[in-house]
């Protein structure tokens, strides 16, 4: 939920354009239902998300105004260059890793001169602009690292982890029948992972955070992020933002 809220704010702050044909959205839904789509699937996505105007087709904004009337200046840290072609509405088949983490300028595997900035680097730029508090910002960055690693295939999805547990269980006969005993053991394993008494390195890596108290909950972090945005930034003179 923290990631979705941050992404929605990035879309509004940077005026991003994610419009694409509904037929390609349907195709993405079908791809998403395939096994191991998170690592091996290719999804349609816009090549240019910054603008519908060619003159600034690949230019991220140097500043934005939040809903409280403050000017913020994001700092982006892309380790690669990216450009867009003349067709600003063109879509491209990308992996989840490319959509989330970006892809460098390349002539192999995709059209020559094509690159994509990635959603997670955009969120990091937004967070640098609103100057999140150290404790909140560090935890959110940790969340982003986790999502980035999962998108990159370094960590498996929950479905893959559960499938691997069941297929390796001595009580599973590889006949597509999951017995009550296997289900019970799976629930116990999941409970142990949640409680921190059992490790799941392929699922969580080193990102296990344990149980969060009220001050560390997702809701509390979102409230803190909003409070930071209210405190920081340069107030626009003579403007009224609603």
Q: Are 197 and 32 in contact (CB under 8 A)?
A: no
pLDDT level of residue 111 (50, 70, 90 thresholds): very low
For residues 231 and 28, which has the higher predicted lDDT (pLDDT)? 28
Q: Give the other-Cβ count within 10 Å of 74's Cβ.
A: 21
Q: What is the pLDDT of residues 160-197, one digit of tens each?
A: 999 999 999 999 999 989 999 999 999 999 999 988 88
For 109-118, which contacts have Cβ atoms below 8 Å and span 24 or more sequence positions?
A: 111/85, 113/83, 113/85, 114/47, 114/82, 114/83, 114/84, 114/85, 115/80, 115/81, 115/82, 115/83, 116/45, 116/47, 116/82, 116/92, 117/49, 117/60, 117/76, 117/78, 117/82, 118/78
Kindly give, in sequence order, each residue whose CB lies less than 8 Å from that of residue 96, ignoring residues fewer than 6 positions away.
37, 38, 39, 41, 43, 151
Q: What is the pLDDT of residues 42-94, one digit of tens each?
A: 999 987 787 655 444 445 555 555 544 455 565 655 554 455 445 667 788 99
């Amino acid at each position: 939920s923290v990631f979705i809220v941050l992404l929605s704010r990035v879309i509004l702050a940077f005026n991003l354009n994610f419009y694409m044909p509904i037929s390609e959205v349907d195709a993405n839904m079908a791809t998403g239902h395939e096994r191991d789509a998170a690592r091996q699937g290719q999804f349609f996505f816009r090549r240019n998300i910054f603008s519908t105007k060619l003159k600034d087709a690949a230019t991220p904004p140097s500043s934005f105004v939040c809903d409280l009337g403050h000017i913020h200046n994001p700092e982006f840290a892309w380790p690669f260059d990216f450009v867009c072609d003349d067709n600003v509405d063109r879509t491209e088949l990308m992996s989840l890793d490319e959509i989330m983490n970006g892809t460098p300028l390349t002539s192999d595997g995709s059209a020559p001169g094509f690159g994509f900035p990635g959603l997670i680097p955009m969120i990091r730029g937004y967070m640098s602009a609103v100057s999140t508090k150290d404790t909140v910002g560090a935890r959110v960055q940790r969340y982003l690292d986790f999502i980035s690693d999962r998108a990159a295939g370094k960590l498996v999805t929950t479905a893959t982890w559960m499938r691997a547990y069941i297929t390796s269980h001595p009580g599973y006969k590889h006949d597509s029948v999951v017995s009550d005993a296997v289900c019970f053991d799976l629930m116990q394993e999941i409970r142990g992972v949640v409680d921190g008494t059992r490790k799941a390195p392929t699922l969580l890596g080193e990102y296990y955070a344990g149980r969060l108290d009220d001050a560390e909950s997702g809701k509390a972090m979102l409230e803190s992020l909003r409070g930071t945005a209210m405190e920081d930034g340069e107030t626009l003179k003579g403007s009224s933002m609603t």
